[in-house]
Amino acid sequence: MDRRTHDRYVERAMWPIGRGDRNFWIAVVALSLLVGAGLYAWVYQVQRGLWVTGLNQRVSWGFYIINCVFFIGISYGGAMTSAILRLTNAKWRAPLTRLAEATAVAALLVGAVYPIIDLGRPDRFLNILLHPQVGSPVVWDVVAISTYMVASLVFLYLPLIPDLATTGASMRGGPLKRLYGILSLGWRGTPGQEASLQRGIGVMAVLIIPLAVSVHSVLAWLFAVTARGGWHSTIFAPLFVLAAMLSGVAAVILVVAAFRRVYGLAEFITAKHFRYLSYLMIALGVAYLYFMVSEYLTEGYLADETTAPLLEAIFVGSYAPAFWSFTTIGLIFPLVLAAWPGRFVIARACTASALVIAGMWLKRFLIVVPGMAEPAMPWDWGRYAPTWVEITITIGSAAAIPLILIIFFRFFPVMSVHEMEEVEGPPQPRGVVLTPVYAEGAGE
């Protein structure tokens, strides 16, 4: 990479830091209003009790459990995307990893609140730490989510350290400079520090995978350890893990596309990046489809007395519109759309990702709600319709993810500078023109 491109990359990664232009403030205010509405609905619910939701004696889990699985799933996909790219040493990863890791943390911060929102007595949440019964999947969840939370924060922070030093050095003074100085832990880029950092990042990239797998397996076991038809399935844990990765990669594609446009990163994040991420999404989507067919086929073929009514409700009954929308518009169509060769790679990847994300939310709905509505005593089907409280909290929490990301990237470089330098080598003097590795095939 020549000096000019190098400097341009650094400038693009750093320019928004500490600045707030008009678009930034519009976005922050708009998203804050949505988050505020969600918080208001939560306070409203805490003051009155869970009767303000659509939950009832038959369907006692609804939007909150769906959202918990959904947002933690997105987080998982973000972490996995970065970890996979690091472990396979994909040279084109440099402009993407920071965005993926930040998405993982933002989505997790939102998803991890949902188990508390769902509690009838949130004031007693600490009972889980004071009187834990280790045989309970809920306790496994709390342990797994909090461990994964720490790991994903470290995973975001470690590669950030050299960039923090760079950012601090470029500033003239003020509290931010001091903050970066503290956070960068005295990074000077000595070979010893470099080696430690690489070892740390390598360990985290390996660790984050089993941690994320365990979090989502445990979420699946919340359902699979019960005797309910459609829930008591041995394939649930891997199915949940795949669903999480699929929705997470889709979310990373959308986040990358949004920041590419708003922050003007088009010369560094190219169609190639979206094509590769699409490949990852397609592979995961096909695997998910396979797992899903395997699950429904084996359960539906035997059709015992607990699964048969459930599958009937999902395939041809009252949940059929949701199920077939998910299967066609939320899974098969977007995969074909993303896989199709030709132009408009980025537009197609983004459309497909949005559909996949919506589809995966719907799929979680189809797991949680019909599984609950199917009566334990097989005579009265339950009903569930969310109230404004659940809908407002859901929208508010979804808005919190872009809000966190937008604010975060006004303080920290949106693309990893250190990683780019590591992949590209030191900047070449002027006149020496090398095609940057990340931009190979950028003309497509």
Binding site for other proteins (CB under 8 A): 49-51, 55-58, 60-61, 115, 118-122, 124-125, 127-128, 130-139, 142, 222-223, 225-228, 372, 375-377, 379-380
**CB closer to other proteins out of 38 and 54:** 54
Q: Please, which residues have CB within 8 angstroms of residue 259's CB and are 6 or more apart in sequence? A: 99, 265, 405, 409, 414
Q: From the CB of 101, what's the least distance to other proteins, in Å?
A: 27
> Is 417:8 a contact under the CB 8 Å cutoff?
no
Burial string for 424-440 (b: 16+ CB within 10 Å, else e) reads beebbeeeeeeebebbe
Helix (H, G, I), strand (E, B) or coil at 2: strand
> Rounded to the nearest whole angstrom, what is the least distance from the CB of residue 223 to other proteins in the complex?
8
221/333 with CB nearer other proteins: 221
395 contact partners, CB below 8 Å, separation of at least 6:
34, 37, 38
Nearer to other proteins, 38 or 115 (CB): 115
| Secondary-structure percent of the chain, ordered helix, strand, coil, rounded to 5 | 70, 0, 25
CB of 44 to other proteins, least distance (A): 15
**Would you say the C-alpha torsion 365, 366, 371, 375 has a positive or negative sign?**
positive
Q: How far is the CB of 129 from other proteins (least distance, A)?
A: 9
Of the pair 44, 61, the CB lying nearest other proteins is at: 61
Work out how close the CB of 121 gets to other proteins at its nearest, in angstroms, rounded to a whole number: 4
C-beta neighbour count of 107 within 10 angstroms: 31
Residue 323 CA to residue 344 CA, distance in Å, equals 29
The token pair that represents 203 in the structure block? 């360990």
* 365 burial type by CB count under 10 A (0-12 exposed, 13-18 middle, 19+ buried): buried
- Residues written for the chain: 444
C-beta of 50 vs 255, nearer to other proteins: 50
Residue 338's SS3 state is helix
* Residue with smaller CB distance to other proteins, 202 or 375: 375
Pick between residue 38 and residue 371 the one whose CB is nearest to other proteins. Answer: 371
CA nearest 218: which of 182, 244, 251?
244
Give least dist CB 305 to other proteins, A: 10
Least distance between other proteins and beta carbon 221 (Å): 10
Residue 312 or 422 with smaller CB distance to other proteins = 312
Q: What angle do CA 357, 96, 157 make, to 5 degrees?
A: 100
What is the closest distance, in whole angstroms, from the C-beta atom of residue 133 to other proteins in the complex?
A: 4
